[in-house]
């Protein structure tokens, strides 16, 4: 990954947007100096960049990071064994059946990086069965020239394997890179509602921000019902020359993902809300803005990775009166029954009342989108190979060949009808900080995930007697 910054920018941040400090003098109020903000996307996405100021806690990204350099790993993928029997065998044909198993020796997903290198099949044990057969259509008298068809089919079940994965929130692609704010009790110096009826919200911002990925990275149990790998090849041999042309089908059914009840959950539900583009602090007003700030209870559950709700729907312009027009369950924010909370509009250099949420909408365990993380795969590959064998050598039989392949992976459907998925959960032991495993999505779709690729090769070897 590389990033080219066209303009470093020089603006300081508005007071109240991230923190509760008024720095500078009117009309040059600012909340955070530019030097203390995240300097680049690369620094944030690699887990190095965060807002550095003493009155808030901004946690860096810990999971689903992107490499600033190459990520690579070298390992043995797996150990495979098969036990078979030829149920029919003749000079011109054979049919064989086998049972097979694979022991994983590669690595498993750990969730730290978005594109982490994986060797093997994700640490799954495999068990299955296979069929191999061939039939020779034509053969010369001396059997040096012949044409035959070959079939090799294997179907295996990928047993449950522990993996660590990062999930998005339901209906919010890439929400793992959004910012969440922590809200807790007690609520101090904050009321919400009209001037005639003000009440305390049920929770208030604590001054802690966290990327959603840090909250929605879980240890899970992943299994695959069936994986099929089928090869059909036509081979023609004339004297020392051999020509192969074939087709390979690969397919994998939808993954089954369950949360592990033996692993601690990284977050408590009803404690975190999406920040979006909401202001999280208001300032006490005595006719003008003061330096006394109050954390709000503002959340934006409808925000997405591309926009906050202070500018959505179209009726909101981001500088509306009062500020925070798009927060959940918006209500006017007050310090007490007679003193309102305000914000300083840096753009227009004026003081605005501010809204908060009554009550905030907080992230629940069942907001984690399991369905969006489930994948299946299917690809179709065509290949050709030509080789030459020096058959007249007495004891040593060398050969050399070359070939190529092209694989067409089925592409994911952009409009899959899964934007409104939700999980219906009965979490096991969630009150004791354990993740639930009895969660099911109402979404029946499963993301297709197969690469389209091509390859060429040069092959050589020797057989001996």
pLDDT tens, position by position, 302-353? 999 999 998 754 444 555 578 899 999 999 999 998 999 999 887 778 888 9
The residues near 141 (Cβ < 8 Å, ≥ 6 apart) are none
Cβ proximity of 385 and 402 under 8 Å: yes
102 and 249 part of one domain: yes
209 and 344 part of one domain: yes
Cβ proximity of 28 and 14 under 8 Å: no
| pLDDT tens per residue across all 465 residues of the chain | 788 888 888 777 888 999 988 887 777 788 888 888 888 889 999 998 888 888 889 999 999 999 888 888 999 999 999 999 999 999 899 999 999 999 999 999 999 998 899 999 999 999 999 999 999 999 988 888 999 999 999 999 999 999 999 999 988 999 999 999 999 999 999 999 998 889 999 999 999 999 999 999 988 999 999 999 999 999 999 988 999 999 999 999 999 988 887 777 777 888 999 999 999 999 998 878 888 999 999 999 999 999 999 875 444 455 557 889 999 999 999 999 899 999 988 777 888 899 999 999 999 988 888 878 888 999 999 999 999 998 776 788 899 999 999 999 987 665 444 444 444 444 444 333 334 434 444 455 688 888 899 999 999 999 887
Final residue in a domain of this structure, among 302, 337, 361: 361
- On whether residue 24 sits in a domain, the answer given is no
> What tokens appear for 79 in the block?
């150990």
- On whether residue 17 sits in a domain, the answer given is no
- On whether residue 378 sits in a domain, the answer given is yes
The distance between the two most distant Cα atoms of the chain, rounded to a whole number of Å, is 107
CA 159 to chain centre: 22
210 and 352 part of one domain: yes
Cβ proximity of 282 and 354 under 8 Å: yes
184 and 54 part of one domain: yes
207 and 244 part of one domain: no
432 and 447 part of one domain: yes
Helix and strand numbers (H, E) in the chain are 2, 24
Pairing of strands 341-345, 217-238: unpaired
Q: Structural domain of residue 199, as residue ranges? A: 34-60+168-214+272-361
117 and 175 part of one domain: no
Domain count, the chain: 2
CA 175 to chain centre: 9
What distance in Å separates the CA atoms of residue 358 and residue 350, rounded to the nearest whole number?
25
Q: What are phi and psi of 365, to 5 degrees?
A: -60, -35
Final residue in a domain of this structure, among 331, 361, 391: 361
What distance in Å separates the CA atoms of residue 93 and residue 71, rounded to the nearest whole number?
47
385 and 414 part of one domain: yes
Final residue in a domain of this structure, among 333, 361, 389: 361
304 and 336 part of one domain: yes
257 and 161 part of one domain: yes
pLDDT value of position 314:
44
Q: What is the 3-state secondary structure (H, E, C) of 311-359?
A: HCCCCCCCCCCCECCCCCCEEEEECCCCCEEEEEECCCCEEEEEEEECC
- On whether residue 5 sits in a domain, the answer given is no
- On whether residue 426 sits in a domain, the answer given is yes
First to last CA, the chain: 52
403 and 457 part of one domain: yes
Which tens digit of pLDDT belongs to each residue from 382-434? 999 999 998 776 788 899 999 999 999 987 665 444 444 444 444 444 333 33
């Amino acid at each position: 990954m590389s990033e080219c910054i066209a303009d470093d920018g020089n603006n300081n941040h508005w007071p109240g947007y991230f923190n509760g400090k008024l720095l500078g003098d009117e009309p040059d109020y600012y909340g955070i100096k530019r030097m203390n903000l995240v300097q680049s996307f690369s620094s944030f996405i690699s887990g190095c960049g965060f807002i550095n100021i003493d009155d808030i806690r901004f946690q860096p990204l810990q999971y689903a990071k992107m490499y600033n350099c190459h990520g690579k790993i070298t390992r043995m993928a797996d150990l495979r064994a098969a036990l078979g029997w030829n149920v029919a065998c003749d000079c011109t044909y054979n049919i064989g059946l086998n049972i097979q198993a694979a022991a994983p020796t590669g690595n498993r997903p750990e969730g730290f990086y978005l594109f982490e290198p994986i060797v093997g099949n994700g640490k799954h044990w495999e068990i299955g069965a296979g069929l191999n057969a061939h039939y020779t259509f034509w053969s010369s008298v001396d059997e040096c020239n012949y044409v035959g068809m070959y079939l090799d089919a294997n179907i295996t079940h990928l047993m449950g394997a522990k993996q660590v994965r990062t999930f998005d929130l339901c209906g919010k692609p890439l929400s793992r890179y959004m910012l969440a704010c922590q809200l807790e009790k007690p609520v101090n110096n904050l009321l919400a509602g009209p001037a005639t009826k003000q009440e305390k919200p049920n929770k208030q911002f604590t001054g802690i921000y966290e990327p959603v990925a840090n909250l929605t990275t879980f240890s899970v149990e992943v299994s695959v019902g069936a994986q099929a790998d089928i090869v059909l090849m036509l081979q023609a041999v004339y004297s020392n020359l051999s020509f192969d042309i074939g087709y390979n089908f690969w397919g994998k059914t939808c993954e089954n993902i369950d949360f592990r009840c033996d692993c601690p959950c990284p977050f408590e539900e009803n404690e975190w809300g999406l920040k979006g583009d909401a202001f999280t602090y208001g300032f006490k007003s005595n006719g003008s803005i003061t330096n006394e700030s109050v954390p709000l209870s503002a959340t934006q559950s409808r925000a997405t990775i591309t926009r906050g709700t202070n500018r959505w729907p179209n009726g909101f312009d981001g500088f509306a009166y009062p500020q925070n027009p798009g927060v959940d369950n918006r209500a006017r924010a007050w310090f007490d029954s007679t003193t309102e909370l305000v914000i300083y509009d840096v753009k227009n250099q004026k003081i605005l009342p501010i809204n908060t949420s009554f009550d905030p909408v907080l992230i629940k365990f069942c907001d984690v989108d399991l369905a969006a993380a489930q994948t299946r795969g299917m690809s179709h590959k065509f290949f050709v190979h030509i080789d030459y064998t020096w058959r007249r050598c007495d004891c040593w039989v060398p050969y050399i060949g070359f070939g190529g392949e092209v694989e067409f992976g089925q592409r994911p459907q952009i409009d899959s009808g899964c934007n409104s998925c939700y999980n219906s959960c009965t979490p096991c032991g969630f009150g004791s900080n354990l993740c639930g495993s009895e969660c099911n999505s109402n979404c029946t779709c499963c993301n297709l995930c197969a690469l389209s690729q091509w390859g060429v090769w040069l092959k050589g070897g020797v057989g001996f007697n």
